[in-house]
Chain A
């Protein structure tokens, strides 16, 4: 009997929580909701042991508020929820974006709208992750497709949040969250962890929202001797509300540019068999797993089809998709919703490629057969 000590069987939710711990998370506030609860349970057990804090709040609005407060005080903070809770968090996600507070929000997607299907899978919060909060907003959202990726992308979510001082959303789903897989996790010393930049100037020179060529300003925590104001009102570099047009424009430009001028760093796309593909299946999250099986079935029938799997959904991989539209004749956008990324794929290929939606929204995941059938239909 061979026992591999390094291998572990973990649920996607557990791997996400483990990734948070490895990334240095030391604060979690949340309100339990299926199918995300295991993340909270895992962290409730493990955060206090490591000197971190776990708080079960009275609801999701309070949860994200506590997470933002903790982060301003210097913690690496996260919360986890599902669709209904994600809706409640939206206003404060905008606050975190405006006040440039790094934090991680995990949405383990279930069927909606409303209470919907608590125990069933869906990808119907895809657009909510992008446009859920009000105002001009540039989201970062990552999407894993395996237990191993739940671990890795949670770490990446923290790294991006810290690097760009912005909320980062991890979009999982019910199947992924509850799925157990064998994983061999890397040792902590093999993992790169990024922490927010700290000010090097004396407190009297410090501007919490300084506008600089990198668009990301160093961040002092409350209590470190740097005094600054934080508000959701549009503010000047010191954090005080402003109604001066040039300051308003500079602030909003800064928020936009720190995402859009760094897409090469933020956006990641996995691909398979794309070298000579004329058809591509575009799928994220758990659907990418069905697609990997389906493209193998198609390859066996000598159909040149590949997989495009965005690990970063927001910002959308515009540049990659524009390049691919030159090569491809057809793209199948497979999603567990009524067609949310379909429009994005159409937008980025400007009519150069035929785009087909393959949508399932009955609480179950697309099967390899369904995707394979669609491939045969469109070729």
Chain B
């Protein structure tokens, strides 16, 4: 991905937000990524969450900030990456993206993407069609995020999934991550074909 500019305080923060609605597993996905960043990649990392009093439904999000230096403010500021799994989340947060920030949406659930560069992939449909359940769309999205941004290695993500998944879900989550890697690979290939070569 792009190289990040060091800001005024010579901090190198990377701010990301996983957003959607309650029940989509965004806080759990954030926990896995936080584990991968902090334990397996040695970064300083903080993860915060925001959710409503509902058990399912309602807006839900998880912010992850990582840096090689100290993290003062633990919530995401200007976003380097936004994952939006609902139209509402996309509409609410895409203005928080940096100009060169990456917007990743579920192409079936967000049917009116904003007028900017966006990567839309069918996370939820892929989960349902290949693994028979929509609940692992979050892990597929993690696979895609890791493939596209390289913020952690694939091995780190796999290790974090192994350490955070409940036993009954482990196999399913690992397969979902592989599906995510595949989805990203196809996306990268098709982008190479469609985008004109830089001169």
Contacts and interface: CB of A to CB of B under 8 A. Distances in A.
A296 B72 contact: yes
Given A119-B52, A293-B72, A1 B153 contact: yes
Given A175-B74, A296-B72, A182 B153 contact: no
A34 B52 CA distance: 11
A301 B179 CA distance: 48
Nearest to A291: B72
Given A1-B159, A175-B75, A180-B47, 15 more contacts: A1-B153, A2-B42, A3-B39, A4-B42, A8-B39, A9-B38, A119-B51, A178-B48, A179-B48, A180-B31, A181-B47, A182-B44, A292-B73, A293-B73, A368-B73
A50 interface: no
A7 B48 contact: no
A290 B38 contact: no
A367 interface: yes
A7 B8 contact: no
Nearest to B64: A180
Contacts of A175: 48, 74-75
A297 interface: yes
A134 interface: no
Contacts of B159: 1, 3
The B interface is mostly helix, strand or loop, or mixed, namely: mixed
A118 interface: yes
A311 interface: no
B75 A180 contact: no
A1 B155 contact: yes
B40 A1 contact: yes
Contacts of A286: 74
Interface in A1-38: 1-4, 7-9, 34
Given A4-B39, A297-B8, A180 B73 contact: no
25 contacts: A1-B155, A2-B40, A2-B41, A2-B42, A3-B39, A3-B159, A4-B39, A9-B39, A118-B53, A119-B51, A147-B46, A175-B74, A180-B46, A181-B38, A181-B47, A181-B74, A182-B44, A289-B72, A289-B73, A293-B72, A296-B8, A297-B9, A367-B73, A367-B75, A368-B72
Nearest to B46: A181
Interface of A: 1-4, 7-9, 34, 118-119, 147, 175, 178-182, 286, 289-290, 292-293, 296-297, 300, 365, 367-368
Contact residue range for chain B? Answer: 20 to 34
A286 B52 CA distance: 20
Contacts of B73: 289-290, 292-293, 367-368
B121 to A, nearest CB: 27
Contacts of B9: 296-297, 300
Contacts of A296: 8-9, 72
A36 to B, nearest CB: 15
B156 interface: yes
B38 A182 contact: yes
